[in-house]
Structure 1
Amino acid sequence: MTKTNPGRFFEDFEVGQVIDHAVPRTVSGGERALYQALYPMRHALYSSDEFARGCGLPASPLDDLITFHLVLGKSVPDISLNAVANLGYAEGRWLKPVHAGDTLRASSEVLGLKQNSNGTSGVVYLRTRGVNQRDETVLEYIRWVMVRKNDTEAPAPETVIPELAKAVAPEDLVVPDGLDFSRYDYTLAGEPHRFGDYEVGEVIGHVDGVTIEEAEHMMATRLWQNTAKVHFDATFRPDGQRLIYGGHVISLARALSFNGLANAQMVVGLNGGAHANPCFAGQTVKAWSEVLDKAETGAPGVGALRLRLVAVNDASVGELRGEDGKYLPQVLLDLDYWALVPV
């Protein structure tokens, strides 16, 4: 009997299946330091305990995307070890801040299945939850991933595609307990722009860019204990290239958005997202954002911006799709999220 884990293939999933993922992870300041080394992240709330305390929190939490990467990484050996690509996200909510010393674990429920017409792979829809040591859910989201079949003769499952909300409703966003931006320090945060300075439909080009190095993206992916073969094994793809983990592009783009959105401090909702085209080492990632919506919250001095964050591998701003409706080849990421900003 083999003792190694080949990972699940498409035919191994069933709708309703619940999978508890192995290896809980206790986080520390090390994750924060490595995150800042890997990405040009400068948001003040995640950089300074004193700034966070000035905003009503007990200390600076770990960046929300650290939580996202860690929870997703827990699911990879069970879900996407044999993935072709991670395709998209929906209905994501950050429910509790994560601080150094917290221990995270994760589980996933299979919501839907659809075999591809080529019969060699299929799409798996899952809801993944991250839980801390107090059994509090800190993050939940839906993602769908294309997974290879091992036995191409295995019968196709009944197609089940879950109905997904187009966006997280503003009233369903969770503002962390105690968060108060009424005495927000714009000088220390780095920009003066507040809730009222942004208009729906406004497009912000974030100016800066980062060229992806092979070693950097693999180090980042290992940090999240993400073991998907496509990110490490150059023999796994016919073109001999390692596919950049999509979350790496998300973090790069979010960090680049600081220039123009320095006060979009906390990510609290993930409305949707698509890894529009594959990304490989050597490409230079740039980013732009569009303001899609605005909402008030019940917390003092706190508003919410719904933002589209787009990562591209050229200098284009404001372009997404061609006349055929398909993503343009330079578009790497199209992410729709809610962030908390001072009013």
Structure 2
Amino acid sequence: MTVKLGVDIDPECAHPIEKNSTAKSLQADVASLDPAIVSHVFENASVSLLAGCAPCQPFSTYSRAAKQKHGVQAGKNRSEDWRLVEHFGNLVEQIQPDLVTMENVPPLAQQPIFQRFLEKLTGYWVDWRVVECQTIGLPQTRKRLVLVASRLGPITIPEFDRPPATVRSVIGELPQLSAGGHDPIDSLHRASRLSSLNLRRIRHSKPGGTWRDWPEELRSSCHLKNTGATYPSVYGRMKWDAPAPTITTQCFGYGNGRFGHPEQDRAISLREASMLQGFPKQYSFLPDERNASFDKLGRLIGNAVPVKLGEVIGELFSEHVAKVREIATRH
């Protein structure tokens, strides 16, 4: 299976696409992408595959909670939230590739737009399910809705049961860092700074524990509110011998979730975050990573589809095509 083209509206995606693969990059908005461009890429392909992943923030638990907190009505501006899923469906209708896959957050399945997307897959065998990423060997408690579709024949997403991976098995051997420190060899292995208060907090944090482990004087006023009780993982440490939480765009910040290193008094580094997403240790995200901001690199890492998930879906399609061809040969 050869990836020929990667399309993203974010110009920063061009480097990782072209540096780490043989694919070409195209900066474009899927809402205005000319289907003829993609069709041209498929011209000499024996089997064509179109993969899409609309940003999941509109459907995420965090996003929906934030909207409720700020009094935004459910469904307000929903056409804007759903537009990329809908436009991807339009591309599928117009291009009619042999194979289609889409990844998103599980709550998408309860949205009307998902049913409308399924209706655009007329002529395809379709299967979808929520995949727990721990079962595919990714060291994350991440759940994702995965859809596969084929015009070649019936296709089914299996029940995955790969050996579990842990934080220790993935990042346990990386060089030690202090908060604000960096590895002189690996520019991505650097950790964000901590204030003196947060440094005291993380020193009292236990792996897998909560802010309730801290002395009273270190607790924030928000922790004393009723809403604070619902976010126990904020300012938490990961456990060595368990999977990490879902890696987000803000995973480099100690106060943004359970992103504290299991042992060292700091948040996980950008390299550790990328490896927990399944990226190879030497993966390059930007031409000048040493001077790139944490926000920019965090966005590229956290918004990515976990590599292991792409891998198992690619294997599923390869096996599917081989089976279809074997059946055709018999007849």
More helix by share: 2
TM-score (norm 2): 0.26
More strand by share: 1
TM-score (norm 1): 0.26
User: Whose radius of gyration is greater, 1 or 2?
Assistant: 2
The higher-RCO structure (CA 8 Å, 6+ apart) is 1
